[in-house]
Amino acid sequence: MFTNIDDSMQNKLKIINDPVHGFIKIPHEILFDIVEHPYFQRLRRIGQTGLLNLIFPGATHTRFHHALGAMHLMFTALETLKQKGVKISEEEEKGAMLAILMHDIGHGPFSHALESMLMDDWHHENLSLLLMNKLNEEFDGHLSMAIEMFQGKYHRKFFNQLISSQLDVDRLDYLKRDSFFTGVSEGNINTQRIISMMNVCEEGELVIDAKGIYSIENFLTARMFMYWQVYYHKTSALAEFLLVKILERAKYLISQGIELPATENLKYFLYREKSAATDEDVERFTQLDDNDVIQAMKEWQNSDDFVLSYWCKCVIQRNLPKTIISSHPFEEKVIDEKVKNINEFFGIDNGKELVHEIKRKLLPYDREKQPIYLLQKNGKRIKLHESEDQLLSGLMMNKTTRYILMFPRDI
């Protein structure tokens, strides 16, 4: 809900009531203009967590929610740094808040995985940058600094790190928000405590005051639990995988000359040949949201193609395939046996289309890629995992892999 700060004059300085962070301020008019833009409003129709609500019914929040929350945390972080003597101009504040507000503006329907299906391996960050550049033209170049920060090219490095690093405000918001809406308390982090410990060292990089080490370790632990308990939950991984296979199958059938009902914008991408993104691609993409895919799956349940129909029924009717999870890849003979049983049960000869091994891996803390630094009282900085006070960081530098075998539960 938007509330005017001052109803006596028409301004764009608003307050938003957010269920996670409470009241969120929009302190600059250009932020409001971006929020009101159709590109950003589309995020109301893009779920933050894909089909996660099939497992956690409360997880129905959107990318719109998340972007506003990340913007709020950016504002809070900048205010904290100012109080610690870091000089930040109003233009830099606007730039950083704009960059994080728009960081997901290029997200497609449902999940990261669908990006490659619809736009030929275009990661959502590439699409976000493309849309930011288009918006920058509309706003007479006022987004240039934000784009520079988003790309990690701004000369004051801590701005880039607040937008994208192992401890950025994007992660701080989605962990707390997803924990709230899923009800998984293990992911609930103290964002205010973490932000209050943020600082900038002499090198101009983002650091954490040494006394905040345990808040950071708690953050890393919470993120690890959220990945294995929520994002990489076997049914969550399965549902995301099914979405990809559904669109992959639909594109294959269309390439074989089979007509499939779909909204005009989704149909455009299903028929689209691989090529560099055109202006029409971008325009069509900004009209696409979760509703297009849901509507298509509802229609495709009745498809004459057994595989497409089966998968769509799995999702729409929430009659999902059976899954087995393992820390090792499944043996070929196990998979072959499943395929044989499927062919016999359904009377088909392409049962291998319904058996898949899904792989998920996680490195909770990467000590090589933008490590988190602690600022000691003597002014020197030290890597988190090298601190004598660390308890858990050293245990989170090993990659863990899980394998999930999916197959129809009918067999």
What's the confidence (pLDDT) of residue 5? 45
Q: At 201, phi and psi to the nearest 5?
A: -85, 180
Neighbour-count burial of 86, counting CB atoms closer than 10 A to its CB (0-12 exposed, 13-18 middle, 19+ buried):
middle
What's the confidence (pLDDT) of residue 97? 98
Going from the first residue of the chain to its last (411 residues), give the mean pLDDT of each consecutive group of 10, the final group possibly shorter.
Answer: 47 89 95 97 95 95 97 98 97 98 93 69 76 96 98 97 97 98 95 97 94 94 95 93 94 95 94 81 92 97 96 96 96 95 93 95 90 92 86 78 94 83
What's the confidence (pLDDT) of residue 266? 94
Q: Which of 364, 360, 352, 345 is nearest to 409 (CA)?
A: 345
pTM of the entire predicted model = 0.92
What's the confidence (pLDDT) of residue 141? 97
Q: Where are the domains of the chain?
A: 14-232+367-398
Placement of tokens 């803390």 in the chain: 365
Domain 14-232+367-398 classified CATH 1.10.3210.10?
A: yes
What's the confidence (pLDDT) of residue 111? 67
